[in-house]
Chains A and B, each alone.
Chain A
Amino acid sequence: MHSEKPKHDFEPKIIAFVCTWCTYAGADLAGTSRMQYPSNVRVLKFPCTGRIDPVFILKAFQQGADGILVSGCHPGDCHYIAGNYHARRRFAVFRKLLEFIGVDLNRIQFSWVSAAEGGKWVEVVTDLTERVRAMGPMVEFKDLVLEEQWSGNLNNPELQAVYEAM
């Protein structure tokens, strides 16, 4: 039966971009095998890791993700032969770019999870969730949502009152 779920102050939102052929099937296997893993992860299914554009990761951060997982087929197993090889290079570079602009790479995990690796899926997701939970919310991109150029700023009496009280 279900074990008691521990209560946490902060439940991170984890977005998982996965390929439909391997990792999605692996996550499915974890589910049908009744393995337990954190419900913090939202799975988005793509045809292939090669289809996962770096802009999706930025968008996820902007819309409130605290952690990101990108996962697909092991090298050699790609349904489209080489999609994951291309993705591997792309993300090797993209993570360097994110690091350079000040994103903590501990929030992003890349993995190969095959259709038979339900257990590995559980491990990867659990580790990432706990790691991000310990780091706290990803505030950088969320703060940007509220930022304006000076000329677009408005007087905000309520906020002003809050600031003055501080």
Chain B
Amino acid sequence: MTQTIDISSYSAITDAIRNEARRILSDSTVSAVIGYTAGRRKGSTQPIVITTADDADQLIFSAACLNDLVVYLTKAKKDVPKGGRIGIVVKGCDLKALVGLLGESQLKRENLYLIGIPCSGVLGSLLKPAAELTTETIASKCCECTDQLPVGCDFVPTVTPTPLPDLEKRYANEIARLEAMNPSERWEFWKEQFSKCIKCYACRQVCPFCFCEQCLCDRNRPQMVEQTPRPLGNTAWHLMRAMHLAGRCAGCGECERVCPMDIPLNLLNRKMAKELKELFNSEAGFEVREAGPLTSYREDDDQSFIR
């Protein structure tokens, strides 16, 4: 049964973010704050970079604030000013991506001022940004969220997030459904999904971990992954993407959310996360890890699959 999720706290969060942004911009703690602002269409939002205290009133937080803003801190986004300390609004899932980047020496904690969101959930899609947040419209990642309250931020509004009702674990269920299939059924499933891809690379561009200045898939000498948006090159691209994110992906689910062709990309990432947890007891969290599961090893790692 569809049930409305209480997000009345989001107006208090909006006020708190504005006040904090105003304070840290006016006392020059930070040179800019990256947050969300309202868009033209009813309910829509977009990321914004503000540099003056007067602009703080433009900041908002709502159930349509889906973007993982951490992508703007990476070196892939050269145009966002990085001088001095930067303030950024992060949900729990976004923060885990930021922590991952700290672990990969892409960011320095002292250059950041983290404004954490006690999050009660966001929408799954922005096709209808004004939609009410319900157990139906909520993002799949929120259904399995254990990090509504971010840890280790410089400022978190004193608001208690709405405890999420018992939601269907969509990813876990879908992974189980696929695992129960035989290989040729799984191949058919993914073949159909990957065939839809038009190589717009929205999945890559919104990913905080896709910060390479030269993507393997843009290279043509050697051409390891076919550039054309045909089923062959698409399959290779999505497998490489899943592999390059294995052990790094923090589960913000942006890749899947932005895919204009509705490819369930986060399903691959969740599957990889599940395997990494089982194999190496490794998962993304709020603690900075010096090395990820695929950049480290143990001498007694399982090798039952090796002859």
In-complex A–B contact (CB below 8 Å)? yes
**B93 on interface, CB distance cutoff 8 Å:** no
By a CB distance below 8 angstroms, the chain A residues around B294 are 86, 89-90, 93
Measured CA separation A152–B191 after assembly (Å): 17
Instruction: Please report which residues of chain B, range 251-306, place their CB below 8 angstroms from some CB of chain A when the two chains form the complex.
Output: 268, 271-272, 275-276, 279-280, 293-295, 297-299, 301-303, 305-306
Residue from B224, B230, B242 in contact with A152 in the complex, judged by beta carbons closer than 8 Å:
B230
Given contacts A86-B297, A88-B301, contact A93 B243 (CB under 8 A): yes
Instruction: Please report which residues of chain B, range 132-188, place their CB below 8 angstroms from some CB of chain A when the two chains form the complex.
Output: 178-179, 181, 183-188
Residue from B188, B191, B239 in contact with A97 in the complex, judged by beta carbons closer than 8 Å:
B239
Q: Are A54 and B231 in contact (CB under 8 A)?
A: no
Q: Main SS of chain A's interface residues?
A: helix
Closest Cβ–Cβ distance, residue A139 to chain B (whole Å): 10
**B240 on interface, CB distance cutoff 8 Å:** yes
Q: Main SS of chain B's interface residues?
A: helix
**B225 on interface, CB distance cutoff 8 Å:** yes
Measured CA separation A147–B236 after assembly (Å): 14
Q: Are B307 and A111 in contact (CB under 8 A)?
A: yes
Q: Are A62 and B236 in contact (CB under 8 A)?
A: yes
Closest to B196 in A: A149
Count A-side interface residues using an 8 Å CB cutoff. 42
Query: A residues within 8 Å of B by Cβ?
Result: 53-56, 58-59, 62, 75-76, 82, 85-86, 88-104, 109-112, 124, 140-141, 144-145, 147-149, 152
Query: B residues within 8 Å of A by Cβ?
Result: 178-179, 181, 183-191, 195, 216, 224-225, 229-232, 235-236, 239-240, 242-243, 246-247, 268, 271-272, 275-276, 279-280, 293-295, 297-299, 301-303, 305-307
